[in-house]
Structure 1
């Protein structure tokens, strides 16, 4: 035993002539406190472990039995622990938002769906479970610092197609492709940095092909779609296993140093556009009105022409009808035409009759009896007046 103080041992002898231990204590028979025996402590611990794993039996009688039990207990415990570790490392669970990537000695062998699965124990096979449904957002050109965002000029300042500098900030949202989760883990070392670098490159290319006024107004959606498609195409070429869900422009402004001047230019352009719109409105009002007046005049002229032509054709037809009748009875027609003409010419003039008696020297006045008649008050008065007039006319003759 290590603490045996025999005369021949010479291991822990005091310098004063007595056998003493390493702590300066004398042998047990000398009346001092002797330290506990380590072998005894180990033996007792083994006995307790053996009782636990052997169903609570008492210790074996004898030193040989204790030694044998002490050899079997730790081995059994080690075996049991190893079996527990093997069982624990052979089962794994994949959550609903994850994909299970199983590696065998570091080589990808299969991809498993969410649920409980079995594998070879560690270190033969290991499992990686990336979340494939989580959306990750990256801001480019701006950083969130507390409450107020901070612009990053080296990322946000870009040159447009009309040689203007524009301050742009935008965000990119992406997630892992479920069917390409292994590519996401092994093909790109830093996926977030790759997405950011490619997105900034695509945005600079799209901005360089556009004008600043288009970027601020109608071209925003087109630029966003162009950048998203180009970014997705490039990442697919890398085999990154990343799906770009959205690219959104947050700010499209001139640099702060020239912002006031740019706003003045924009206001002038707005005034120009307003004046152009007013002129076009006036032109759209005056020109149709002038065209309407011209069409009205043209239609009136055409109507007058049709009227004149119709009257001329009617006169010609009437003349031809009279001429045909004249050819049939020239004397009668001539006399009738003469009488009708004289009636038309002399109808509104004072009339004088020259009597052809006595050589035609006397003048016979014409008495317009019809003009002296009063207006008839009723039908009877009219008939009476008519009868009186006829009688007067008869007596005058």
Structure 2
């Protein structure tokens, strides 16, 4: 039976007939749906300019709504540091460059936006927390990650940082489920392998750069085998120390080794200074002996040649040569002795000979005046 809005009519009984109950205001009549729609249209016309709705204005509103829906439904914005990966029903179909790009609305196409230019950072063996109020950074050590066993069966505490970047966005999104966790696990495993093949002393001293390069190459090789689409930019060792329980003993050993190297360097420096001096002195003595030998041999040869020359002249003129030899010999002998002249004819005996030229060389300038005063 159709329902009637008249009170008491129809199949509903009672003064508040109808399933919606009494109308607000207590009039007892049921609400009229057409009246409600009419009042809503009147209010909408009053809100519109000119009090009219329809015609060009309605078309304009429809076009604007369609444009807004189309813009947000069919375009996507890719930031400069991102790359758009378009999935059509969950399957990878293409890439979108930075900027505004067209795509079909969800759920037909979905766009993933990985940040391909950002350098990501993973800390292993430590965790850093910054206090914004004090502008300080607190580093918390994680022994379960940092303690590693070396090849010579020593324990070393290593904290390091891995910097990585997305190299292939599709592989990065679809081949690995947890990229950061994968990079962290692979980096820790690679560091343990490299440290396990090395002794503790090179790791603590001179082999830090070599260790970083070996770990970076091993991490990259493992991630490439996974098809992770990740490039390892750098591996930095932050702290390489023995465990805290034995660090004092290790420092004593390092100090002793440093002293040993210092003493060895000092001894080597002394040897480098003394040995060349000794070699130079020996060479000087050898050169002096060689020169003396050459001098004696040359003089002997010269004397022999001179004697042979004199012999040849003696054989040609014995008297003249004999007299010449006598005169030369007397000249050589008398030049180094005091001279005494004897005048046999005068009968006065010995006549003193004064070598004036030699006296002038030997006597000081004031000596002749004193001698002259005594003579007077």
Calculate the TM-score normalised by the size of structure 2: 0.77
Deviation at 1:141, TM superposition (A): 0.3
Quote the Cα distance in structure 2 between the aligned partners of 1:338 and 1:366: 29
Quote the Cα distance in structure 2 between the aligned partners of 1:149 and 1:129: 32
Aligned match of 1:219: 207
- Where do 5+ consecutive residues of structure 1 fail to align? 14-18, 60-72, 356-364, 379-397
Report the 3-state secondary structure (helix = DSSP H, G, I; strand = E; otherwise coil) of the residue aligned with 2:254: helix
Aligned match of 2:152 in 159, 162, 167? 162
Aligned match of 2:266 in 278, 281, 286? 278
Aligned match of 1:261: 249
CA distances 1:47-101 after superposition (whole Å, capped 9, x unpaired): 4599699x96699xxxxxxxxxxxxx9xxx9999788535421111111111111
Aligned match of 1:172: 162
- Where do 5+ consecutive residues of structure 2 fail to align? 131-136, 361-376
Aligned match of 1:37: 31
Quote the Cα distance in structure 2 between the aligned partners of 1:137 and 1:304: 79
Q: Does 1:239 align with 2:233?
A: no
Report the 3-state secondary structure (helix = DSSP H, G, I; strand = E; otherwise coil) of the residue aligned with 2:157: strand
CA RMSD of aligned residues (A): 3.9
Deviation at 1:105, TM superposition (A): 1.1
CA distances 1:117-158 after superposition (whole Å, capped 9, x unpaired): 112222211211111222211100001256431111111011
Deviation at 1:270, TM superposition (A): 1.1
Quote the Cα distance in structure 2 between the aligned partners of 1:295 and 1:27: 133
Shift in CA distance, 298/253, structure 1 to aligned 2, threshold 3 Å: same
Quote the Cα distance in structure 1 between the aligned partners of 2:203 and 2:312: 88
Q: Residue 23 of structure 2 contacts residue 31 of structure 2 at CA under 8 Å; is this kept in 1? A: no
Aligned match of 2:284: 296
Deviation at 1:344, TM superposition (A): 5.2
Q: Residue 86 of structure 1 contacts residue 122 of structure 1 at CA under 8 Å; is this kept in 2? A: no
Report the 3-state secondary structure (helix = DSSP H, G, I; strand = E; otherwise coil) of the residue aligned with 1:199: helix
Quote the Cα distance in structure 2 between the aligned partners of 1:343 and 1:24: 169
Q: Does 1:125 align with 2:125?
A: no
Quote the Cα distance in structure 1 between the aligned partners of 2:294 and 2:99: 95
Aligned match of 2:371: none
Aligned match of 1:195 in 169, 174, 183? 183
Aligned match of 2:367: none
Shift in CA distance, 83/292, structure 1 to aligned 2, threshold 3 Å: closer
Shift in CA distance, 284/337, structure 1 to aligned 2, threshold 3 Å: same
Deviation at 1:42, TM superposition (A): 4.7
Aligned match of 1:305 in 267, 273, 293? 293
Quote the Cα distance in structure 1 between the aligned partners of 2:195 and 2:349: 108
Quote the Cα distance in structure 1 between the aligned partners of 2:144 and 2:115: 32
Quote the Cα distance in structure 2 between the aligned partners of 1:101 and 1:225: 33
Report the 3-state secondary structure (helix = DSSP H, G, I; strand = E; otherwise coil) of the residue aligned with 2:233: strand
Q: Show the 5 A alignment for 1:140-155.
A: 140-145=124-129, 147-155=137-145
Point out the structure with max Rg over C-alpha.
1
Calculate the TM-score normalised by the size of structure 1: 0.73
Aligned match of 1:383: none
Quote the Cα distance in structure 2 between the aligned partners of 1:4 and 1:367: 199
Q: Does 1:112 align with 2:106?
A: no
Quote the Cα distance in structure 2 between the aligned partners of 1:350 and 1:196: 113
Aligned match of 2:69: 85
CA distances 1:9-29 after superposition (whole Å, capped 9, x unpaired): 1x344xxxxx4447998999x
Deviation at 1:44, TM superposition (A): 2.8
Report the 3-state secondary structure (helix = DSSP H, G, I; strand = E; otherwise coil) of the residue aligned with 1:101: strand
Quote the Cα distance in structure 2 between the aligned partners of 1:284 and 1:12: 127
Shift in CA distance, 37/295, structure 1 to aligned 2, threshold 3 Å: same
Q: Residue 91 of structure 1 contacts residue 117 of structure 1 at CA under 8 Å; is this kept in 2? A: yes
